[in-house]
Amino acid sequence: MNAIYILWLRQLKRYVRSKSRMVGSLGQPLLFLVALGFGFGPIFQKAGGGNYINFLAPGVIAQGILFTAIFSGIELIWDRQFGFLKETLVAPVSRFEIILGRTLGGATIATIQGIIVAILAILVGFRPNIATIPIAILFMFLIALLFTALGTAIASLLEDFQGFQLIMNFLVMPLFFLSGALFPLSNAPNFLKIIARVDPLSYGVDGLRALLVNTSSFGLITDVVILVILTALTLAIGSYLFSKIEI
């Protein structure tokens, strides 16, 4: 448990020290909120969809969590190249504790990022259900756990930054755009509905909408169950891949 806490704390310290990373990761969510929220808002309202910022904000919050969580895997490659990982692996702790500590640290950072994005969304007009915000934060942490574990699992297979960034860019944008974060799934073509059901981020976006604006396509219980199962599977796979890293 001590090793898990140390690795968790180390991840948080890295985040606090990297002010440029903190500010830079807010640019894209803010752009979506302002450009899409105000740009497509009148069209969405005329089509009978209601307040588009209220619809869009949970998806943008999930996007902020996704990007921060999944790119936390790059720190594993950094540690691998500069020697810190070797020092960690020779310590008298299990590799499962190491990956769990890193995953919890990355998930905590991603959740903080999601909260900051939510505050920005409120400043531009988002009006969430105040009573469910504490539960929504716990749900954000669940989303963050899944995608931090995924980023760590992929990073365990790679040894260079370029390969990781290429794979992440190929993976992250489709996960976001096909999750229903920007459009209602109820009116989407059937093939998009099928893709959305395969996309794990869809359940994160849907769960946040259920909690924050009382709108859901799958149901909150379904969202939670699927995310918990996927998180457990991804963490197990990531632990196995991490255990195969050679010093």
What SS3 string covers 168-236? HHHHHHHHHHCCCCCCCHHHCCHHHHHHHHHCHHHHHHHHHHHHHCCCCCCCHHHHHHHHHHHHHHHHH
Write down the domain spans for the chain. Answer: 2-9+21-243
The predicted pLDDT at position 46 comes to 77
pTM given for the model: 0.89
From residue 42, how far is each of 1, 10, 29, 53, 58 by CA, in Å? 52, 45, 20, 10, 19
Q: Is residue 158 within 8 Å of residue 167, measured between CB atoms?
A: yes
CA distance 201 to 127: 22
CA distance 157 to 78: 13
Q: Count CA atoms closer than 13 A to 7's CA, side-chain side.
A: 27
The predicted pLDDT at position 77 comes to 74
Q: How many CB atoms lie within 10 A of CB 178?
A: 17
What stretches in the chain show pLDDT beneath 50?
Answer: none
Interval 184-212: pLDDT, tens: 887 788 888 899 999 999 999 999 999 99
The predicted pLDDT at position 131 comes to 92
The predicted pLDDT at position 39 comes to 82
